[in-house]
Structure 1
């Protein structure tokens, strides 16, 4: 009796196993030889990914647009949708994924994944970005799932494209145009991002991670904001963190000068001047030389001379301090003394181009002109 029971159990298990196996399907080529594809590109800091299937023209030239791809909306004879746009590809719905907020043809669209559909027209196409990302084709399209609709003009292609494809074109730092290309037609739409907003958001997020455990990261974020005159109040907090003792930035000339830049961007110049006094003693020979050069470029000759002199007193008779003091004297109009120091720098020049440059500066000073 026990043997019979065991045999029944084993037979049932085998039958259940085969039943389960029968539901599984082996991997095969996509239906209709419509190749699956994806294309991605970063626009600003936003990752944009399009996933789609690629139907072929297959000698149907002249019968794609307006025929195989019907104009407007159609009843496809299957599914609940009686007025559906085209799936913008083949097989499964085409999807497009944005890692951050974007604008499509000037219209805002939140970060996320969307089903992408097209209502074709010879003179104008309507593009749909839908919450429906998992359906097969557009058989289950619902208008109330649309998040955004935009209208664009299709344009003739320079050459025939056998298999439908998506490409990024007209790339710029904060924008690109996506082109749906098939047969002899292109349907383009422009994607734009707020690169500055995304960059600040990325900094804000990364500073909470392990990347925020050094003064350099806080300094990088604060300096970006100062240079771009954006998010300045928060940038000042970032600069305060960079110059704190926690991560060692309190001894960094770069960290303190970044704080100066943020304060200046905020219009708090007297505070910036006081902070700069703290920063100067921390500067290296090249730090002080570059800072003085920036003051010269801003036509702040007296301030530049003071820094060049400080640098020379700390590091007397080197190439940089001689070249710097020569620039300092030139800025305040004492060309004779300027020549003296530039000649010293010429003798110490580390390379022939540097030596030749000193020679040009001496000639300029001899002509009675400022070298800054």
Structure 2
């Protein structure tokens, strides 16, 4: 009897240990029921990734009621609201979606409507208004909706203007007006759009740093990689001092450096950009005298604006020599710089 009683106690303890685990277990994942859908949208601004992950409700209510004209100011109140639950009292913004936090993630520091926002993940909330909206980026991105919103956790608030748009049955986020260094994010639902801008002030610097890393890998083992890196900085007017050393490497780095019209012309341009005008003129002369300088290369050089190397007469003479040497005009390369047979796009 004593042994039986002992096993009864052990069984009871085991049951008590299992029941809480079962009670707190996650339910199974089922298909969306049509009330709202999980969504995510990403956009790259140069090397910067921006992502919005959200739950997308529809205009039609779960019971089939058409809520057109009853979304803004009714389903989604203007101003702060009391949600009747949670810790934000009557100072609860809208969660800018449904269910969990809408999460705004950015891989690098950016500016939102001209204001700095560090890289990171943010809970995205909004304070709607008839004339203007406040977009809130909270450092808390892991809560459920806005029930536990705390203004002390705000990383940034910006004020934007809503505008009318085409009908959107499902709440959606889109990236519009995309440029190399900026884009507009827009929330769209029913007939309303709420846009705000994201800008990357240091887009060229990020590319330069990326190129710098690449030159320590495979692209650094051929002259084309160094030349393209140098030419990128030249055309971007960025990192010109270091780019000069990259151009020199394209010409003379042991084992891989190569003198040709492209490398010498890039070197001459960067010497001029760094104020080394005497050296630039000498290097330019070497470029146009080089056997790889085709007639069309020289023609483009003559047409180049500014002529920083005093190149007019030099180019005319070199064109004559090149024409006699080759007997015919060359077709230009697709970028106007690389001679036939050279590899392109070594640095991305």
When normalised by structure 2's length, the TM-score is: 0.79
Identify if the C-alpha distance between structure 1 residues 32 and 213 changes in structure 2 by more than 3 Å, giving closer, same or farther: same
CA RMSD of aligned residues (A): 3.4
What does 1:91-106 correspond to in 2, within 5 Å? Answer: 91-106=99-114
Per residue, is there more helix in 1 or in 2?
A: 1
- The C-alpha deviation readout for 1:284-306, integer Å capped at 9, x for no partner, is 2xx33233213321474311123
- The C-alpha deviation readout for 1:261-312, integer Å capped at 9, x for no partner, is 211222322111233345456542xx33233213321474311123224424
* Contact 2:220–2:226 under 8 Å retained in 1: yes
| Aligned counterpart, 2:79 | 72
**Structure 1: gaps (5+ residues):** 324-372
- The C-alpha deviation readout for 1:105-155, integer Å capped at 9, x for no partner, is 222222322221100001010011121111111122222222211111111
**Relative contact order, higher structure (CA 8 A, sep 6+):** 2
| 1:76 aligned counterpart, secondary structure | coil
Identify if the C-alpha distance between structure 1 residues 216 and 118 changes in structure 2 by more than 3 Å, giving closer, same or farther: same
| Aligned counterpart, 1:190 | 197
| 2:43 aligned counterpart, secondary structure | strand
| Aligned counterpart, 1:43 | 45
- The C-alpha deviation readout for 1:218-238, integer Å capped at 9, x for no partner, is 221210111222221121122
| Aligned counterpart, 2:115 | 107
| Aligned counterpart, 1:214 | 222
Task: Report the Cα offset of residue 252 of structure 1.
Answer: 4.4
Identify if the C-alpha distance between structure 1 residues 156 and 317 changes in structure 2 by more than 3 Å, giving closer, same or farther: closer
| Aligned counterpart, 1:125 | 133
Aligned-partner Cα distance in 2 for 1:288–1:12: 92
Task: Report the Cα offset of residue 18 of structure 1.
Answer: 8.4
Aligned-partner Cα distance in 2 for 1:30–1:233: 56
| Aligned counterpart, 1:263 | 271
* Contact 2:221–2:256 under 8 Å retained in 1: no
Aligned-partner Cα distance in 2 for 1:247–1:48: 41
What does 1:1-372 correspond to in 2, within 5 Å? Answer: 23-25=24-26, 26-29=28-31, 33-58=35-60, 59-82=66-89, 83-158=91-166, 160-194=167-201, 195-246=203-254, 248-280=256-288, 282-284=290-292, 287-298=293-304, 300-312=311-323, 316=325, 318-320=327-329
* Contact 1:225–1:262 under 8 Å retained in 2: no
Task: Report the Cα offset of residue 96 of structure 1.
Answer: 1.5
**Structure 2: gaps (5+ residues):** 61-65, 332-348
Q: Highest Rg: 1 or 2?
A: 1
* Contact 1:80–1:140 under 8 Å retained in 2: yes
Task: Give the number of equivalent residue pairs.
Answer: 317
| 1:249 aligned counterpart, secondary structure | coil
